[in-house]
Amino acid sequence: MLWAKSRMRSLLKTLHTPPWPPSTAIAPALDKCQPIEEERTPYYDPKRFYPAYLGKILNDRYQVATKVGYGTNSTVWLARDLHQLRWSADRYVAVKINAVNRAGKKAAETELRNMQLISKSNPRHEGRHFVRTLLDSFTLSGTDNEHICLVFEPLREPIWLMNERFKGKVIPSGILKVMIQMLLHGLDYLHTECHIVHTDITALLGPPPQDFLALGKRTSMFYDPEGKLVGTDLTPQTFTLESSVSKIDGQDKRMFLAFVSRMLTWKPEDRSTAKELLSDPWLRADFPGKNQ
């Protein structure tokens, strides 16, 4: 029985896409004294990062094609899936290789659990199609420990780069509304089906209410007794949400500011949910007959 399974695996392997041969191109030499990419991140230690390189085959399946990203606790690589059949079109994936340390490993394990939950939750929810899901995961043995690796579909260009395609480097309101609707559907899926909440700190909320500050254990470290932010010389005094929006005007701007204000509140109970925001008048203005 074991012989038959081994024979079947060997047969399937002959049908898979063969790896690229080693490149004969000679890469330009880098200055060893000048750090690059993740080497420039805080607390960098080469022992923490897995030594991936172009052409390397990861987990006996993914051949590295190019590097697409890096950070303090990971690197990301575009890789060719060698489990595709020889006569099929090439398939590429993004492989995130997490660095190793106590905090980094804990974060990587949490991300893996969250991605497994997101990938397995309600597939019939409309927002399921607008969130990134996990294709595969595995570990690689490094110098000191194992590296958790996550495999995803490659993403498209970021929004800041997409802006370059439009006149004045501004995404038109109609297109932006469609993008926001997709984002809100995805958030609703994460919140209601996966019970995962993504949080950010924003400077657009204005001064916090006193009763909200009273709930904080370390409020005195950041606010004075009158509720004013300590170190206000570092905070723009004339900056407001309204002044930050300069590319639209008139009724469209007023409706947009009202829409955004529903999200930018200090108290969570006053904040509109993603599902509630989907029925906002600003989002529906260009789609009057559409049922959100």
User: Residues 200, 211, 233, 249: which is the catalytic one?
Assistant: 200
- pLDDT tens track for 207-258: 788 888 888 888 888 888 877 777 656 566 677 778 888 888 889 899 999 9
Q: How far apart are CA 37 and CA 29, in angstroms?
A: 16
Q: What is the pTM of this model?
A: 0.81
- Which pLDDT score, from 0 to 100, does residue 290 have? 54
3-state secondary structure of 62: strand
113 φ/ψ angles, rounded to the nearest 5 degrees: -60, -45
- pLDDT tens track for 245-281: 888 888 989 999 999 999 888 888 888 999 999 999 9
| CA neighbor of 132 nearest in space, from 61, 189, 82, 66 | 189
Amino acid at 15: L
- Which pLDDT score, from 0 to 100, does residue 170 have? 87
Q: How far apart are CA 95 and CA 62, in angstroms?
A: 8
Q: How far apart are CA 261 and CA 267, in angstroms?
A: 12
286 is catalytic: no
Rg of the Cα trace of the chain? 24
Sorted by sequence, the CB contacts under 8 Å of residue 100 that are 6+ apart come out as 47, 48, 49, 142, 144, 145, 146, 147
3-state secondary structure of 4: helix
